[in-house]
Structure 1
Amino acid sequence: MPNDPAYQAELARTREFFATRAADWDARFPDDGPRYATAVAELGLRPGQSVLDAGCGTGRALPLLRAAVGPTGTVLGADVTPQMLDAAAARHPGATLLLADCTALPLPDGGLDAVFAAGLISHLPDPVRGLRELARVTRPGGLLALFHPVGRAALAARHGRAITPDDLRAEPNLRPVLTAAGWQLSSYTDSDDRYLALAERTS
């Protein structure tokens, strides 16, 4: 985990933000389930594969990922906020959950077939470092899904602001960041009802 004070301060702000919202997080967004299901389906996971839900929060994607890889597959959830993991454990007994910063995962190199990350990239203090760590734990040719159940414009409007040109999730900004981190952007969707960027781990 990086020791840079600015990084640690940003990480602490993220924990504080989600800690106070963990208990009622799912109730605040009750209609997102079908959008999660569609995004997981687009990963094209197969039975027996291994997948990480990075920044898993309350674990909304965990049962969908489990259904995709079947009983012989591996599903891991990682989050930096203990309260979110507590909520995930309560909602999904038996899930394998890791309290971990996504820039320092306790996982071996190249062990995953895919990474699903809902809402994660906006909360990474160092996006290139975080995405590079996700690449490290994913095999060459493995997939990354950066997902949000609403698009950039809808999310900005929800928070009473406008999209700015430096928005990391905009395709022209995201593509070079992914490339620098060991990923190649393969598809990009940003509509009112979802955001989904799919990338492939380069060799």
Structure 2
Amino acid sequence: MPPSPSPAPGAPDPAGRDAQHSAELARTRAFFASRAAGWDAKFPDDGPRYDAAVATLGLLPGGRVLDAGCGTGRALPPLRAAVGPDGLVLGVDVTPEMLHEAGAHHPGTAALLLADCARLPLPDAALDAVFAAGLISHLDDPDRALRELARVTRPGAVLALFHPVGRSALAARHGRALTPDDLRAEPNLRPLLTATGWHLDRYTDTDDQYLARAVRTAG
């Protein structure tokens, strides 16, 4: 059998893109797997910030919400409180060890699913909101993931990209400087959200919170 032709110069390379994506997922799993058990102990005071960020989603009783990259499940209790017993809370993560911690810490709070946020096993327009804490910094292909989150949400749904500390504080924590190409910076994030089906309507970046709130556009 002859080899498959190579993509023309400048053309998309789906096989290469998928291979790179799979490799990045493996690195993400390896990073978080070894840290899952002690993750919450490292950041014991973040709970009120999660509560405040979840409140910006404007969830109603009976709503359907995804915690994308749910980790150990810190957002799951306030999400459940917001949608009530008749609502749906779905926690998705690519790291089994993180999901184990989420289930152990918050039993019965959410349906937990081992899945890739860029390839969700969900129907179109299934959700009213998406909460994503720290997710965007770990995406190798943000365009792909944000389009997928748009696919599974209804028009008018709300997306909250959150971190309990702002960009400058996080960079200082890791001993690095902010750079102009930081995806979370408003001038970079706004056009990306627009191109992937979202309208950025609130942006906060202070030492004690990062929150980019966007609304799912029609179409």
CA RMSD of aligned residues (A): 0.9
Deviating above 2 A after TM superposition, structure 1's stretches of 4 or more consecutive aligned residues are none
Aligned ranges for residues 42-121 of structure 1 at < 5 Å? 42-94=56-108, 95-121=110-136
The number of residue pairs the alignment matches comes to 202
Q: Pick one of 41, 50, 60 that aligns with 1:27.
A: 41
For normalisation by structure 1, the TM-score amounts to 0.98
Q: Offset at 1:148?
A: 0.1
Q: Offset at 1:114?
A: 0.2
Aligned ranges for residues 120-199 of structure 1 at < 5 Å? 120-199=135-214
Q: Offset at 1:128?
A: 0.5
Give the secondary-structure state (helix, strand or coil) at the position aligned to 1:59.
coil
Give the secondary-structure state (helix, strand or coil) at the position aligned to 1:178.
helix
For normalisation by structure 2, the TM-score amounts to 0.91
Q: Amino acid of the residue matched to residue 141 of structure 2? A: D
Q: Amino acid of the residue matched to residue 75 of structure 1? A: V
Encode CA deviations 1:25-69: one digit per residue, 9 max, x unaligned: 000000000000000011111111100000000000001000001
Q: Amino acid of the residue matched to residue 204 of structure 2? A: T
Q: Amino acid of the residue matched to residue 72 of structure 2? A: T
Consecutive unaligned residues of structure 1, counting only runs of 5 or more, are: none
Give the secondary-structure state (helix, strand or coil) at the position aligned to 1:43.
coil
Q: Which structure has the bigger radius of gyration? A: 2
Q: In percent, how many aligned pairs have the same letter?
A: 77
Q: Offset at 1:180?
A: 1.1
Q: Offset at 1:10?
A: 1.2
Encode CA deviations 1:163-188: one digit per residue, 9 max, x unaligned: 00000000000001111110010100
Consecutive unaligned residues of structure 2, counting only runs of 5 or more, are: 1-13
Q: Offset at 1:91?
A: 0.9
Give the secondary-structure state (helix, strand or coil) at the position aligned to 1:23.
helix
Q: Which stretch of structure 1 is more off in the superposition, 187-196 or 11-20?
A: 11-20
Q: Which stretch of structure 1 is more off in the superposition, 188-197 or 92-101?
A: 92-101
